[in-house]
Chain A
């Protein structure tokens, strides 16, 4: 069955979710692909608790928007997702901008909860569809949240992986480096290298990212899309070609 890039990425992320024990996932505002991945795991029967920050009806938080941060501070969120205007080879993320502080060349929206969630979640999956040397840089212009922390700083988790439109990287916090986990159809180690601004390791036997199965695609386009229509109407229209009932 043919599929869209977003569908492949959602399936990639779903596999990363399942790769480690996960009970509670929080998904932020501008994250339709990670949200689809988390819903896919739920619809495949994983016993997950999902907290979607921007869900309008049935929003999980009854104590204000600080509740997410309070429960993450306690260690009750196993997995969170972050992106970045820039991401570098040490998994530092930049949501501030380029040029002099505070982003006088190109200003990104800002750091949101990253400077807390990246440290305090059990782990983080980094997601950025654009995979180019301008996004994946050797060194970010500004650090919204660092990939690793100095001794003496309380840190519960790090990046598990970075998923892009071209490949999946694993992150190794002890080394402060990424390694290539798989490249998507149409890419190669060489093409990934050419489009990546940072150095990364290439383990032996790295191959192509497995394509989504028919069952995964059917779930994404059906039950997962049903859950996402209210929060991400544009995404559902574009990727799944479905509109919410008026």
Chain B
């Protein structure tokens, strides 16, 4: 699957609380992907930091990069300082809004807030207009920001399961559906494949993403780890803390990578 993501692709990735495919991120490192433009939906976590550390990433469009309780993302900070990474800073609802515009097939959507923030000052692709529909604020029309639709090439995430029809099930993590709808292709790793069709099950269908949006499925057991997977397994804080310590230096990251990325291969995600 990683082999089908070309260098330079725009890849949308959910954060640690929203079932990223760490298995596929590791496979991208093994295939030595280069120049990826990551989209954090709406922020970025562990998977993004290891991809940056391995030199796979040219640009990240996100509202934050963080390892949660394990602190700042060390390879992200180092790459910014070294000038090898471009970060396009946003705010969470702006990421959602740009993807929702793509979902709807419209060129832009408006978002409140933002005005007076240096985020806006550094986003030449965003535009402030006077709302043609009002309301009037202090006698003049409201100023509001328009955000262009964002169309990732590939959405990459993990799911609990896939069914015989190729639907995948993500439970309440509906932002995975948003990025699947907004992206050209979606590649999904799953814990397991089950018989049947989620869309015919009234209880499962609200958490399902229709196979229409899914381009590839691979089994990768515990494929979100160390991130959490719904009620199946939790965030592995100790693992991420150990990573954060190791990845403080480039040499430490390389050692960590040799042990945790190149030695334990989940073959299906390659």
Contacts of B199 in A (CB 8 A): none
Known: A57-B231, A64-B175, A66-B178. A115 touches B143 (CB 8 A): no
**Beta-carbon contact of B112 and A116 below 8 Å:** yes
- State whether the Cβ of B268 lies closer than 8 Å to any Cβ in chain A: no
Q: Mark B49-72, 1 if CB is under 8 A from A, else 0.
A: 000000000000011111011001
Contacts of B116 in A (CB 8 A): 143, 145-146, 149-150, 153
- State whether the Cβ of B156 lies closer than 8 Å to any Cβ in chain A: no
Chain A contacts with B in 95-141, Cβ cutoff 8 A: 95-96, 101-104, 107-120
Q: Could you say which interface size class chain A belongs to?
A: 35 or more
Contacts of B228 in A (CB 8 A): 56
**Beta-carbon contact of B231 and A69 below 8 Å:** no
- State whether the Cβ of A24 lies closer than 8 Å to any Cβ in chain B: no
CB distance from B191 to the nearest CB of A (A): 16
- Scoring B118, B122, B230 by chain A CB atoms within 10 A of each residue's CB, the highest score goes to B118
**Beta-carbon contact of B96 and A66 below 8 Å:** yes
Interface SS majority for chain B: mixed
- A62, B175: Cα distance in complex, Å: 10
**Beta-carbon contact of B96 and A65 below 8 Å:** yes
Interface SS majority for chain A: loop
**Beta-carbon contact of A65 and B91 below 8 Å:** no
CB distance from A223 to the nearest CB of B (A): 22
- State whether the Cβ of A166 lies closer than 8 Å to any Cβ in chain B: no
Number of interface residues of B (CB under 8 A): 59
- A151, B143: Cα distance in complex, Å: 9
**Which single residue of chain A is at the shortest CB-CB distance from B114?**
A115
**Beta-carbon contact of B92 and A65 below 8 Å:** yes
Q: Contact check: which of B77, B140, B237 meets A234 at CB < 8 Å?
A: B237
Contacts of A152 in B (CB 8 A): 137-138, 140-143
**Beta-carbon contact of B96 and A153 below 8 Å:** no
Q: Contact check: which of A61, A96, A112, A151 meets B92 at CB < 8 Å?
A: A112
**Beta-carbon contact of A64 and B65 below 8 Å:** no
- State whether the Cβ of B73 lies closer than 8 Å to any Cβ in chain A: yes
Q: Mark A176-192, 1 if CB is under 8 A from B, else 0.
A: 00000000000000000
- A8, B237: Cα distance in complex, Å: 27
CB distance from A141 to the nearest CB of B (A): 9
**Beta-carbon contact of B89 and A102 below 8 Å:** yes
**Beta-carbon contact of B65 and A110 below 8 Å:** yes
- A144, B229: Cα distance in complex, Å: 31
CB distance from A237 to the nearest CB of B (A): 11
**Beta-carbon contact of A119 and B112 below 8 Å:** yes
- A119, B91: Cα distance in complex, Å: 12
- State whether the Cβ of A173 lies closer than 8 Å to any Cβ in chain B: no
- Scoring A29, A115, A232 by chain B CB atoms within 10 A of each residue's CB, the highest score goes to A115
**Beta-carbon contact of A104 and B93 below 8 Å:** no
Q: Mark B85-103, 1 if CB is under 8 A from A, else 0.
A: 0010111111010001000
Contacts of A73 in B (CB 8 A): 93, 112
**Beta-carbon contact of B92 and A109 below 8 Å:** no
Known: A120-B112, A151-B138, A234-B237. A107 touches B92 (CB 8 A): no
CB distance from A56 to the nearest CB of B (A): 6
**Beta-carbon contact of B80 and A151 below 8 Å:** no
**Beta-carbon contact of A115 and B117 below 8 Å:** yes
Q: Contact check: which of B117, B138, B143, B176 meets A111 at CB < 8 Å?
A: B117
Q: Mark B220-249, 1 if CB is under 8 A from A, else 0.
A: 000000001011001001000000000000
Known: A59-B172, A150-B116. A66 touches B144 (CB 8 A): no
Known: A57-B231, A73-B112, A107-B77. A112 touches B68 (CB 8 A): no
CB distance from B207 to the nearest CB of A (A): 9
CB distance from A72 to the nearest CB of B (A): 8
- State whether the Cβ of B203 lies closer than 8 Å to any Cβ in chain A: no
- A155, B138: Cα distance in complex, Å: 12
Contacts of B68 in A (CB 8 A): 29-30
Q: Contact check: which of B62, B96, B113, B138 meets A115 at CB < 8 Å?
A: B113
CB distance from B40 to the nearest CB of A (A): 9
- State whether the Cβ of A63 lies closer than 8 Å to any Cβ in chain B: yes
CB distance from B262 to the nearest CB of A (A): 28
Q: Mark B141-179, 1 if CB is under 8 A from A, else 0.
A: 111100000000000000000000000000011111110
| Chain A to chain B: the 3 pairs with minimum beta-carbon distance, closest first | A110-B64, A64-B174, A116-B113
Can you list 18 contacts pairing A with B, beta carbon distance less than 8 Å?
A: A29-B17, A29-B68, A56-B228, A62-B172, A96-B89, A96-B119, A102-B89, A104-B80, A109-B64, A109-B66, A110-B63, A111-B63, A111-B119, A112-B92, A118-B113, A119-B112, A154-B137, A232-B69
Taking beta carbons and an 8 Å cutoff, which residues of A are in contact with B? 29-30, 54, 56-57, 59, 61-66, 69, 73, 95-96, 101-104, 107-120, 142-146, 149-154, 232-234
